[in-house]
Amino acid sequence: MNEEPTFEPEADDFVSFELTDRVRALILMHEYDLEAQLLAIRNVLRRNRKTDEMLAAEIESLNAAIRESSGENAGQFEDWRVDRLHSSVFQDAAHSMSAVGMLAPFMESLFVAIFKGLRANQRRNNSDANPRIAALDDHFWDPHHVFDHGGHRRNIVQGIVQLSDSIGLSEFLPDDLDRTLSALFAYRNKMFHHGFEWPLDERQTFEQTIRQSNWPSNWFMKSLTGGDPWVFYLSTSFIHHCLMTIDQVLEGVGTYLQQHDHAD
């Protein structure tokens, strides 16, 4: 409930008829209305943020009432405050589930659409150094697959990175894309398998993963119980970072298309 970046749509969230890099990327993925999807996501995030602000204001009002009261009245206000604080734990979890439930699938479908569009243009690198060289087209262009040691396995994050590397797209994408996707999908998997309250070992493992993966400390927030992590949340900063990453990916793909078209 701290003050952090908001999700108000910017002017360039809407379709422009100028052939910018962003529009060039959207044309590549013409089967999908990504701008409308992004606007819908931002609207839900904005509504959730306003709900959080209302609950925070209610808790602050109870804090003020406690300071100004005594005896039984103060005790009643304190009971209400504790109840609202408890509710905020799960409201934040619900809104975090909502955010990751929109952002992770969008990010996945975004890259599937990108590579589908590039496949239609046959922008494939068939050099011997490409680990995906032996793959049939269906697997080569599928970011769910990552190739190593003569075989392949499913891993959407590593597949996106490897396929981007193999066609020269990576240099046009955000430098921390791998880290961003890893954090987003790791949290998605935990929330969708375990709900709001994960088993203790899962909470402890995720806390270790945050440290070992060197993710920024402000990407995730948590509530504690008995000194142990209780509920993890996507921070507002990380949600904002994911939205910025999506914008940067669209711009980068457009630049990639423009430079390759000129090279051709």
pLDDT tens-digit readout, 35-89: 999 999 999 999 999 999 998 898 888 878 878 887 777 778 777 877 888 888 9
* Calpha distance 145→158 (Å, rounded): 8
Angle at which helix 236-263 crosses helix 71-120, to 10 degrees, equals 10
Q: Note the pLDDT of residue 120.
A: 81
Q: Note the pLDDT of residue 62.
A: 81
Q: Which portions of the chain are predicted below pLDDT 50?
A: 1-3, 16
How many CB atoms are closer than 10 A to CB 157? Answer: 22
Q: Note the pLDDT of residue 1.
A: 44
Question: Which of 161, 181, 179, 158 is CA-nearest to residue 170?
Answer: 161
Bridge partners, 220 (sequence order): 234
* Calpha distance 21→18 (Å, rounded): 9
* Calpha distance 221→239 (Å, rounded): 12
Q: Which helix (H) or strand (E) holds 98?
A: helix 71-120
Q: For residue 8, give the DSSP letter.
A: P
Which residue has 């979890």 as its token pair? 93
Question: Which of 171, 176, 182, 113 is CA-nearest to residue 141?
Answer: 113
Q: Note the pLDDT of residue 189.
A: 97
Contact, 91 vs 54, CB < 8 A?
Answer: no
Name every residue whose Cβ is closer than 8 Å to that of residue 30 and which is 6 or more positions away in sequence.
117
Contact, 52 vs 84, CB < 8 A?
Answer: no
Name every residue whose Cβ is closer than 8 Å to that of residue 51 and which is 6 or more positions away in sequence.
91, 95
